Structure formats: C-alpha cells, structure tokens
Amino acid sequence: MLDKRIENYQLQCFAMVAAYENMSKAAKQLHISQPSLSQTIRRLETEWGYPLFERTGNKISLNEDGKILLQAIRKSGRIMLDALRLTEERHEVSHGEIRVYMGCASMYLPELLQYLRRSEQKKMVYKIHQWQQDATRGQEIGIVAVDDSSDLVFLENQSEDESFLYEILFEEEILLAVPTENPLAAKEVITANDLNTEEFVALNDKWMLGETVELQLKGHAFRPNVTVMLDNPSLLREVLGEGEGIAFVPAISWRSFAGEKVVIRRVEQLEMKRRICLRIPKGRFYTQEQKDCMERIRTFFKEKEQAYMQERATIR
C-alpha cells in the first residue's frame, strides 16, 4: 500500500526520464534543475516502494518495475484522452484532424486524399505519416501490408503495449516489373529459369514489401541476384523506370506505376501475395469523423481492387 498519494507531477517527471533515459535531458525538457528532478524521482520510488530505474554510473534505464509503471501511465493517458473525446463528441465538438499512417500503397495517396475530401461533411486536416520509423509510434489509423503467409482475417499485434486490429482491405499478387527494353518484356511465358542471369533491384527488409518477397521466396528454389538494394519505394520505381534491373512489385498498389517504360509480368511457379490492411488501434474511442474516414478508406480500396480484377486478364 502506498504511504502517500503519488502526485501527477511525479508521474510526469518519471515518464520524461523514462523517455530520455538521461536526467539532464529530461530536466531540460521539464524546465527544472537536474537535482530537483533527481529528488522527485527518488521521492516517487520511496512512495512506490520499489526502485524504478537501473543506475550504472551516469546511465539510467527503466527496470522491470519501472516498465510496469510506465505501461500503466500510458494506459491511463489513453483512457483520459478517450473520455475527453467521448465528452466532446456528445457536445458535437469537431476535432478537425485525422492522423493516418501510410505504410504502403503510397502511390494512391494523392487520389485517396481527393476521395476523402470529396466525401467529408466537414473540412478536415489530414496528418499523414509514411516513413517506417513512424509505424508504431502513434495511435493513428494505419494502412499497412501484412505477409500473405499469415492465416488470418483479423490479426492482433503488440507494439509499445498497444494492440492493433488488422482488417483486410484487399489481397494482391506480387508480380515482376520489367523495363520494356529488356528481352523478358517480349516473352509470352516467363519462368524462374529465365531470371537466373537477371539483375534485380529490391527494397530492404525495413519495408514490408522487401520482407514479404524474401519470406515467400524461401519456399522456392529461385533466389534473385539483387545488385541494388534501396530503402525507399519511390527510388525503386525511378530506378526501374530507367531500365536498371527488374523487380518484384505489388500488382494493385503499384498499378499506376507501369507505363511506357515498364511492363508487369507473371512468373510461372513463383506465386506471391500480400494483404493490404486497415490497422486500427484496439479498445479506443473513435470519433464519428474517424469512423467516417475508415469507412471511406474501405470503399476507396474496394473500388481499386475491383478495377484491377477487371484488368487482370491483360497481365501475361
């Protein structure tokens, strides 16, 4: 039992130290002196009854008990924010902002934004995150890729103690992108043997596409000769457009990529797929604006899937 009521201020200080794992940096962010911050943390540990940090020289890091407390603080913060959002919703307060993580299908982003704006009842501000390091930071709605080998309809995953639901928007093949001047572009049938002497460009495994291709090729004897590895999908498309190698690319989310310089082909006996999912933080309160946005995202990608299926027969 706690001897005294732990103050909110102490918890704020604790969370800041946990984030920086450095007393000086945390004190600077809190606009207090380092001795004052150290005293606050010591007092919190005394009232909590257990040490919360490991201290080695000038280094400080959360111990297991500290991680438990930090987890509780984060949950409490989310509960309070949800309560505020629910109250505002009852009083018809418009939040005017929606955060979306675009982990894949970024080629559709301009068109998706136009679609969302056409359908919205109120003028919204969309804050879009794309880069991989933002994938698990916030609690925003996400559009992400999931390896097709996962046997799921809804997938729960853990990240920084936050559960997510993954709702499948569509499934897509992963096909071969070939520059038009490459002799492979004229072949009626392409086999894995045709690729043995080809140079590939690929995304590294920081991106789900690169990881998915690598994982699914493990079930086949073929291994691509990757001579260029990139950490940016846009760069990969540019390199392919200049005729530098061939690559495995997603059929629907990169559909508009193929033009005069690149053709998309199937490879016999190399069947690969992935799932594009709507990532939804689990157990959260969603404003009507967020619910409307998610429903429009579902409709948008369903239309894209249907359009692709109509054109599918044209891909050899």
> Per-domain residue ranges for the chain?
8-87, 96-316
Give the C-alpha distances (Å, rounded to integers) separating 140 from 80, 128, 229: 17, 9, 30
Residue range 273-300: mean pLDDT, rounded: 88
Strand partners, 142: 101, 279
Query: Per residue in 47-65, pLDDT tens?
Result: 898 999 999 877 899 999 9
| Per-residue model confidence as pLDDT tens digits over 142-175 | 998 887 655 444 444 545 445 788 899 999 999 9
User: Cα-flanking dihedrals φ and ψ of residue 132, to 5°?
Assistant: -55, -35
Half-sphere exposure of 230 toward its Cβ, with a 13 Å CA cutoff? 16
Please report, for the chain, how many H helices and E strands are present, in that order.
8, 12
**What is the CATH class of 96-316?**
alpha beta
61-68: long-range contacts at Cβ-Cβ below 8 A with a sequence spacing of 24 or more? 61/21, 62/18, 62/21, 66/14, 66/18
How confident is the model over 115-134, as pLDDT tens digits?
998 877 778 889 888 764 44
From the centroid of its chain, how far is CA 128? Answer: 11
The DSSP 8-state label assigned to residue 42 in this structure reads H
Nearest to residue 173, comparing CAs of 279, 263, 248, 237? Answer: 248
Class of domain 8-87: mainly alpha
Q: How confident is the model at residue 246 (pLDDT cuts 50, 70, 90)?
A: very high
CATH topology agreement for domains 8-87 and 96-316: no
Token representation of residue 224: 């691509």
Q: Choose among 221, 203, 304, 227: nearest CA to 267.
A: 221
In angstroms, the CA 140 to CA 129 distance is 9
